[in-house]
Structure 1
Amino acid sequence: MSQPRIRILLDNDTGIDDALALAYLAACEHVEILAVTATPGNVDADQVAANNRALLALCGAPQVPVLIGARKPLVVPLLTTPETHGPQGVGYATLPDAAPAEPGAGERDAVDHWIEAARANPGELTALLSAPLTNFALALRREPRLPWLLGKVVIMGGAFYHQGNTTPTAEWNTHVDPHAAAEVYAAYTAAAEAGLEADKLPIVCSLDTTERFEMRPELLTDLAAAAGCTEPETVSEDDPEGTRSTASNPLVRYLSDALRFYFEFHRDYDQGYIAHVHDFFAAGIAAGTLEYKSRGANVAVETESPLLIGTTVADFRALWGKPANAHVVTWNDPGAGFAELVEKLGALARRLPPAP
């Protein structure tokens, strides 16, 4: 059975798991990526945009506009994470930068582009936010009707009953720009009070469920087989650090080199030779391909406490007397998700010419 066409506006901070999510969306034939906008986070906005252009070109989608909006968080200084994602954001992976998708694309403002697209297609577009919420907060400032104009919103961020991955209580995306996240959730509280339909509230993929998507190196072996690589792809903890892939397929090589860095990072922080691929799960929800369960809650973000800045709090019981402003994901199926990932990326990889 064919899936309904889904048109996505993606905001990311590529980022190894952002790259995996972007490649997955490019592999979904029912998904049309209308634009990819760059928010500073894992690396600065210019590097995010360069990573997105190069990966889209590799995936056969160089026509997708890649735009830059904000270049720093709303209030706090920008914090990047080279120790987690590498100095260029995609681990050991390298690709030549691609030219802007269309003349003048690099000069257009990402926030204005989102607003124009939403106004032109009311109720039809899905917004996938796998980065700090800076650009989305700015878009809501300029167009307060955005919650009504967008058809679906998916956010990767936050931690509720799970320890943070940046501070003891804060998740990375929210910690990078806590004030933007606070504005976004406050805007959706106001929208809910004004009668916004429940199905238009953001679907929030927090660490509580994204860290269940625990990728292991064997998945790259499965992906190479699905892609028809001439030799098996093996990534092992026993390999010398920084070993590069020699896969015959360029997409497999790129993802293998990116994810090896991520495996090494998680091992160095005593989490095992694994990779938490948070953004792929959020992309699967946006694409309508991954199952999940959720609960309504009013979500707020701490912006004042030095100890707790960036901490997300979910009121599931309406103790604050406020309406739900989000659907917080409470369950997912990593096994089915990884099978879906191998199938889709393998099919895309088979369509690409061999690596030089």
Structure 2
Amino acid sequence: MKKILIDCDPGIDDALAITLAHGSAELEILGITTVGGNVSLPKTTANALRLREFLGFPEVPVVPGSPGALLRPTIDAAEVHGDSGLGETRLPPPTLPPADGHAVDFIIDTLASAPGEISLVAIGPLTNIALAVRKEPRLVEWAREFVILGGSYTRGNFSPAAEFNIAADPEAAAIVFSAGWTVTMIGLDVSRTALATMAVVDRMREMGRLGSDLLVPCAEFYGMVTASDGPAIHDACAIAYLIDPTLIEIQQAVVQVETMGRFTSGMTVVDFHLGDRAPNALVGTSIDTGRFWDLMLGTYAQVAATIA
């Protein structure tokens, strides 16, 4: 079983990703850290706490972290995820508080406790991770692997050039990509093809309270669902990669983050032509969507069976 630490900003797709991670027999969640992103830090933290209790893993620490970007004004995606961050889901408010401390220290302490054994996955802006590697550079050696949902080598969704998680804090992303580890970047080029079509949502409807209170409201709030199209389930792609790396084709690359461009701030500049340079990233290029949804829906069905 692979031990993982999830840094996130729930967020509709974060909720679907956390559900997948919790339900997978291949993963053990050691902790969830939160960052401001899709909505404000108090809301992303509250959403993580709500998910923890609804899904049934109250023993896993939830630790809040950075409220906004390192050097620039905070942005959010409430117009996509709703004011609460979880659209029209029907999850009870949490009864248990977050853990004491700050996400940055929790990330450092957790990875330091078992060097080389814990996979770190970030599915929100990279502010917490940047602060952690600046505070403790050995973090890059301690992580078994580091996987993000973010970036793109073609086009953006926050701007024509930039994906939201990177655009929310480009300086943090630049620190993370230059920290000396290999970043596995699962970006829009992969996640935009993982669509929740009508057939997918119909299977979610069969999953009792998990389907009615969480999965279906998440999928339908995001956008129009049709027989051949639907919203992209971005963050779950990074978790799926941790479960089964063969789902996603990856390619070595040198990735740099644009922080100065007037029109390109937050762009991940991906160069697959390495020459004599060492790669700093493994970049996802495609996903087997059939196997992805088999994994997702099969795991969700197991989680549904545990929820009264």
Q: Which residue of 2 aligns with 1:330?
A: 285
Q: Distance in 2 between matches of 1:250 and 1:347?
A: 10
Q: Cα 1:13–1:145, aligned 2, differ >3 Å: closer, same or farther?
A: same
C-alpha deviation, 1:204, in angstroms = 0.6
Q: 2:197 aligns with which of 192, 216, 221?
A: 216
**1:147 Cα deviation after fit:** 1.2
SS, match of residue 270 in structure 2: strand
Identify the match of residue 254 of structure 1 among 214, 220, 229: 214
Instruction: Trace 1:114-153 onto structure 2 (pairs within 5 A).
Output: 114-153=107-146
Q: Once superposed, what is the RMSD of the aligned Cα atoms?
A: 1.8
CA distance in 2, matches of 1:222, 1:58: 20
User: Residues of 2 paired with 1:126 and 1:141: CA distance?
Assistant: 19
The aligned residue for residue 187 of structure 2 is 206
The alignment of Structure 1 onto Structure 2 pairs a total of residues equal to 307
Partner of 1:73: 69
2:148 paired residue number: 155
The aligned residue for residue 36 of structure 1 is 32
**1:289 shift after superposition:** 6.3
Structure 1 residue 217 displacement after superposition = 2.9
Shift of 1:82: 1.4
Which residue number in structure 1 is paired with residue 48 of structure 2? 52
Q: Which amino acid aligns with 2:131?
A: L
Q: Following TM superposition, by how much is the alpha carbon of 1:83 offset from its aligned partner in structure 2, in angstroms?
A: 1.2
AA partner of residue 91 (structure 2) = L
Structure 1 outlier segments of 4+, above 2 Å: 250-253, 287-290
| Paired letter, 1:308 | T
Which consecutive residues of structure 2, in runs of 5 or more, have no partner in the other structure? none
Structure 1: how far apart are the matches of 2:79 and 2:161?
Answer: 20
Q: Distance in 2 between matches of 1:298 and 1:100?
A: 43
Letter in structure 1 aligned against 2:112: R
| CA–CA separation in structure 2 for the residues paired with 1:323 and 1:350 | 46
Please list the CA deviations of residues 16-69 of structure 1 after superposition, one character each: whole Å capped at 9, or x if unmatched. 111100011111123111111111110011111111111111111121111111
C-alpha distance after superposition, 1:325-350 (max 9, x if no partner): 01011221011101111111011101
> How far apart in 1 are the matches of 2:135 and 2:95?
29
Which residue number in structure 2 is paired with residue 313 of structure 1?
Answer: 269
SS for the counterpart of 2:38 is coil
Unaligned runs of 5+ in 1: 192-200, 230-248
**What is the aligned partner in structure 2 of residue 111 from structure 1?**
104
In structure 1, C-alpha distance between the alignment counterparts of 2:246 and 2:215, rounded to whole Å: 21
Per the TM alignment, residue 290 of structure 1 is displaced from its structure 2 partner at its CA by 5.4
* Correspondence for 1:179 among 161, 171, 196: 171
Q: Distance in 2 between matches of 1:314 and 1:73?
A: 23
Q: Is the CA contact (8 Å cut-off) linking 2:70 and 2:172 kept in structure 1?
A: yes
The alignment status of 1:347 with 2:289, answered yes or no, reads no
Secondary structure of the 1:34 match is: strand
Deviation at 1:99, TM superposition (A): 3.2
2:68 and 2:90 mapped to 1: Cα distance?
25
Tell me which amino acid in the other structure corresponds to 1:52.
A
| Secondary structure of the corresponding residue to residue 276 of structure 1 | coil
Output the TM-score relative to the length of structure 1.
Answer: 0.82
Aligned equivalent of 1:91: 87
